[in-house]
């Protein structure tokens, strides 16, 4: 028997649908993702902590869920909003359907929503708080949305960061589909030898970033977000990586201070939240975007080469270019709205991008940044 569900926005607009996954009531900031595939990677991306995610692609669940494609140890979204649920997946890799996976992890789902209307509403009105419920009436759901905390000022990093340091040793070989034109004899491309040892801050780190780093020749030690600069430097790493993550970058002053202390002492590469943290460490500021960039089709221009890349993104905040000091160069911009998508220090080996070069989900246009980081470390060692 279908269970009725309500999606209520803080501005009073409501959408009615049918429940799947777990049932109950939850609140969070609602956002939309425009990717056509990769819903499992979205659900398990720690950067979505505290958010209700709506997928713009009309049918979700077609290829089910499998253990290999998870980007963390479990889901981080508050609720999942879709147009139509595919209850019988068709994929030889699938181990369970989407609804069963969400129910197992106590994540609420609502289907039958006009996600096109919802997306247009959020694009015009901006990001807002929301409530998904199978228990409350519309008025109570709207009140619950209004009473929920804002994303601004929230530190979700402490909730998702690893509790203790570890050396990444999971399977990192790139899986390839064997066919007549495949050069490799098996389903995996062998890993290169280790070139550099780095420390990676886990602000909400995705597994595929770690895989890509290993594929680029890095040995990676992952550390908690509260690790001090002194503790990192005592490990004598060849470089430092700053990961993606959730929440408001301006609320992470305790992290800004530690990263600031390491600028100029070793090469640094940041992705997404790591880019925003670097901006604050440089002395700059960030601001909240109207509705964020989330999907695998964001066009980015490299201002140095003129090259255009189609990129995977997931962020609701951006760097204020006018707040950056003169020693910081903006290297990449978003062609949809002109916001900062990358920057570098003019004298120190430090650079970052706002998008996701690990492409999980998304295109592979920007995967070269991992090699660029390795080459930067090699060049620094030679000096």
Task: Say which of 10, 272, 280, 345 is annotated catalytic.
Answer: 272
Distance CA 178, CA 94 (A): 19
Q: Is 131 a catalytic residue?
A: no
Closest-CA residue to 270 (of 326, 184, 331, 183): 331
Task: Say which of 280, 315, 345, 356 is annotated catalytic.
Answer: 356
Q: Is 272 a catalytic residue?
A: yes
Closest-CA residue to 339 (of 327, 322, 356, 357): 322
Closest-CA residue to 145 (of 121, 128, 127): 128
The half-sphere exposure of 189 on its side-chain side, counting CA atoms within 13 A, is 12
Which residue(s) pair with 345 in the sheet? 328
Tell me the three state secondary structure of residue 175.
strand
Q: Is 226 a catalytic residue?
A: no
* DSSP, residue by residue, 25-56: EEEEEEEEE--SS-HHHHHT-GGGTTEEEEE-
Task: Say which of 41, 71, 258, 358 is annotated catalytic.
Answer: 358
Cβ–Cβ < 8 Å for 61, 86 = yes
Residues known to be catalytic: 272, 356, 358
């Amino acid at each position: 028997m279908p269970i009725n569900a309500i999606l209520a926005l803080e501005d009073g607009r409501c959408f009615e649908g049918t429940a799947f996954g777990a049932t109950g009531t939850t609140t969070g900031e609602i956002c939309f993702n425009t990717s056509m595939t990769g819903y499992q990677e979205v659900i398990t991306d720690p950067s979505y902590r505290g958010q209700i995610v709506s997928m713009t692609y009309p049918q979700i669940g077609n290829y089910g869920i499998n253990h290999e494609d998870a980007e963390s140890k479990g889901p981080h979204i508050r609720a999942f909003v879709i147009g139509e649920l595919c209850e019988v997946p068709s994929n030889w890799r699938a181990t369970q359907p989407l609804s069963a996976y969400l129910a197992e992890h106590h994540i609420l789902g609502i289907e039958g929503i006009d996600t096109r209307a919802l997306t247009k509403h959020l694009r015009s009105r901006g990001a807002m708080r929301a409530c998904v419920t199978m228990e409350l009436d519309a008025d109570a759901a709207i009140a619950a949305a209004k009473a929920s905390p804002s994303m601004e000022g929230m530190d979700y990093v402490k909730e998702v960061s690893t509790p203790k340091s570890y050396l990444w040793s999971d399977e990192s070989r790139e899986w390839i589909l064997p066919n007549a034109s495949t050069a490799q004899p098996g389903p995996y491309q062998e890993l290169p030898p280790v070139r550099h040892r780095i420390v990676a801050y886990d602000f909400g780190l995705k597994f595929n970033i770690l895989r890509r780093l290993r594929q680029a020749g890095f040995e990676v030690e992952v550390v908690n977000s509260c690790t001090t600069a002194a503790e990192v430097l005592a490990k004598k790493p060849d470089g430092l990586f700053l990961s993606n993550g959730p929440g408001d970058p301006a609320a992470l002053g305790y992290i800004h201070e530690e990263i600031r202390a390491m600028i100029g002492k070793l090469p640094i590469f940041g992705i997404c939240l790591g880019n925003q943290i670097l901006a604050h460490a440089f002395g700059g500021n960030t601001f909240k975007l109207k509705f964020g960039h989330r999907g695998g089709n964001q066009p980015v221009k490299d201002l140095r080469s003129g090259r255009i890349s189609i990129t995977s993104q997931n962020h609701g905040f951006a760097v204020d270019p006018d707040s950056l000091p003169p020693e910081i160069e903006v290297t990449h911009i978003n062609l949809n709205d002109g916001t900062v998508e990358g920057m570098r220090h003019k004298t120190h080996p430090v650079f970052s991008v706002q998008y996701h070069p690990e492409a999980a989900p998304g295109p592979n246009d920007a995967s070269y940044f991992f090699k660029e980081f390795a080459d930067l470390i090699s060049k620094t060692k030679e000096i």
